[in-house]
A and B are shown apart, each in its own frame.
Chain A
Amino acid sequence: NAGVTQTPKFRVLKTGQSMTLLCAQDMNHEYMYWYRQDPGMGLRLIHYSVGEGTTAKGEVPDGYNVSRLKKQNFLLGLESAAPSQTSVYFCASSYLDRITFFGQGTRLTVV
């Protein structure tokens, strides 16, 4: 049972480049989330999804887009990366019991 899997684990982008972070969960969870984690700022919710085909904005959605075409996948896109998006990104999922499972994280550096 893999749980929540994120790819890639590390990435360096140049300012203005685009990329997509992939998240897959094999627990049949309805809810999925993308967070960013920055020193001293804890976890901040970027976007989330309450089911296949649905997405919603979190606390810090600007500069990011998401898609949930399949229940098990939740993609996070950066259309034009900026240095302020340098962060560690975590995907997470949960079911009705509200217990949230996290992926291993993606460390993104934008130069």
Chain B
Amino acid sequence: AQSVSQHNHHVILSEAASLELGCNYSYGGTVNLFWYVQYPGQHLQLLLKYFSGDPLVKGIKGFEAEFIKSKFSFNLRKPSVQWSDTAEYFCAVTPTYAGNNRKLIWGLGTSLAVNP
């Protein structure tokens, strides 16, 4: 079955530290990849996406992610985190075959706490 694995369930960092959150998926075909963020008490918002082209994508608030097809990975990075980055981060994948009906396959999320 298709699945998405996020390696870190809880991450605690100090401000200005660098961040890398791992995401791997299990599907051999073409995929669209997403990172969503959920700030405390809020709904999920799109952070960045990859559909095709340059495998290094940039999103909002200084986040970026790199798609490595050979590793089935789409890791999220930020060089210097801020307290306001405290949130839960979700990786999601959509296989692009026609019968998928745009359903997203979600990772379980990574809770990031940034200490001021």
Q: Which 9 residue pairs of A and B lie closest in terms of their CB atoms, listed nearest first?
A: A42-B108, A102-B43, A102-B44, A43-B106, A31-B102, A104-B43, A50-B101, A42-B106, A42-B109
Residue tally, chain A, CB below 8 Å to B: 23
Q: Which residues of B sit under 8 angstroms from A102, Cβ to Cβ?
A: 43-45
Output the least CB separation between B75 and chain A (Å): 18
Indicate which residue in B32, B36, B106, B107 contacts A98 across the interface (CB closer than 8 Å).
B32
Using known A-B contacts A40-B108, A90-B44, A103-B43, determine if residue A98 contacts B90 with beta carbons closer than 8 Å: no
Q: Which residues of A sit under 8 angstroms from B109, Cβ to Cβ?
A: 42
Instruction: List 6 additional A-B contacts (Cβ < 8 Å) besides A43-B44, A98-B49, A100-B36.
Output: A42-B109, A43-B106, A50-B101, A58-B103, A98-B51, A100-B46
For window 57-92 of A, CB contacts with B under 8 Å fall at 58, 90, 92
The answer to the question of B94 belonging to the interface, with a C-beta cut-off of 8 Å to chain A, is yes
Indicate which residue in B46, B106, B107 contacts A99 across the interface (CB closer than 8 Å).
B46
- Contact, CB under 8 Å: A99 / B103: no
Chain A residues engaging chain B, CB cutoff 8 angstroms: 31, 33, 40-45, 48, 50, 56, 58, 90, 92, 94, 98-105
A58–B61 CA distance with the chains assembled, in angstroms: 32
Interface size class of chain B, counting residues whose CB lies under 8 Å from the partner chain: 20 to 34
Q: Which residues of A sit under 8 angstroms from B46, Cβ to Cβ?
A: 99-101
Output the least CB separation between A72 and chain B (Å): 17
Using known A-B contacts A98-B94, A103-B43, A105-B43, determine if residue A42 contacts B107 with beta carbons closer than 8 Å: yes
Q: Which residues of B sit under 8 angstroms from A50, Cβ to Cβ?
A: 101-102
